[in-house]
């Protein structure tokens, strides 16, 4: 499976993909960012993966930027788009070009706490369990069908950095696992309930 990864920041999830599935179950054929100078781009370059930057200001609007990015993804021959800390909302025109072919990792147990600051939202709500979700991307904000989730009890925490540090190892396991499942063709929509995804064993 040929994969393009979209990033905005640090790129620890990209690094996890490079160290696990890349060159095995999947080939990362490109990394694109909406921010110049994202450290994730250096990680890609160090692994010999082609990179590109698509700045919002270089295009008339967000859709224009995202369509240019979609063209780049298709030109790389990608079958799958992985959002690994990509912090911009994708235009519907991008999402509809890759139906059920975009996955995202989100630091909450969806459908709770969508959007930005998910960890702080969870802390503010007083949750006793935190977790990570990998889901397919649709046109909503963190609303697509859930592929994988994992939780850990943290009943007393009020420290976002502590929660983030606890969640990152889960992200670094679940996102490569989702790519493996998709590459193996083990993910399909439930015909009786298309919002639901069935992962076969
Ligand atoms: C992760 O916590 C992920 O859940 C969120 O953005 C963060 C990206 O981290 N969507 P990194 O850039 O992969 O280190």
CA nearest to 40, candidates 73, 8, 70: 8
Instruction: Region of 89 please: left (phi>0), alpha (psi -120 to 50) or beta.
Output: beta
Best residue for ligand 1 mutational test, from 8, 105, 133, 162 (most atoms within 8 Å of Cβ): 105
pLDDT confidence tier of residue 86, bands split at 50, 70 and 90: very high
The pLDDT of 157-186, averaged and rounded, is 97
89 CB neighbour count, 10 Å cutoff? 15
The pLDDT of 91-111, averaged and rounded, is 97
Phi, psi of 163 (to 5 degrees): -65, -45
pLDDT at residue 46 is higher than 90? yes
For 18-29, what is each residue's pLDDT tens digit?
Answer: 999 999 999 999
Distance (angstroms) between ligand 1 centre and the Cα of 1 equals 22
Q: What residues line ligand 1, using a CB cutoff of 6 Å?
A: 9-13, 40, 84-85, 105-107, 171
Please say whether the beta carbons of 2 and 15 come within 8 A: no
* Active-site annotation holds for 106: yes
Best residue for ligand 1 mutational test, from 11, 18, 171, 172 (most atoms within 8 Å of Cβ): 171
pLDDT confidence tier of residue 201, bands split at 50, 70 and 90: confident
| The ligand 1 atom nearest the CA atom of 13 | 13
């Amino acid at each position: 499976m040929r994969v393009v990864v979209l990033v905005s920041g640090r790129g620890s999830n990209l690094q996890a993909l490079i160290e696990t599935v890349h060159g095995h179950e999947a080939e990362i054929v490109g990394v694109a960012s909406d921010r110049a100078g994202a450290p994730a781009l250096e990680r890609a370059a160090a692994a010999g993966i082609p990179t590109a930057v698509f700045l919002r200001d270089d295009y008339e609007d967000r859709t224009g930027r995202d369509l240019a990015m979609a063209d780049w993804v298709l030109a790389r021959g990608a079958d799958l788009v992985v959002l690994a800390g990509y912090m911009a909302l994708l235009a519907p025109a991008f999402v509809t070009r890759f139906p059920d072919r975009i996955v995202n990792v989100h630091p909450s147990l969806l459908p709770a706490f969508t959007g930005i600051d998910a960890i702080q939202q969870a802390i503010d709500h007083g949750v006793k369990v935190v977790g990570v979700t990998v889901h397919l991307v649709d046109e909503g904000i963190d609303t697509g069908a859930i592929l994988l989730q994992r939780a850990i009890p943290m009943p007393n925490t009020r420290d976002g950095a502590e929660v983030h540090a606890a969640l990152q190892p889960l992200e670094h396991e679940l996102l490569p696992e989702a790519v493996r499942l998709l590459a193996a063709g083990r993910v399909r929509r439930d015909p009786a309930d298309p919002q639901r995804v069935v992962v076969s064993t």
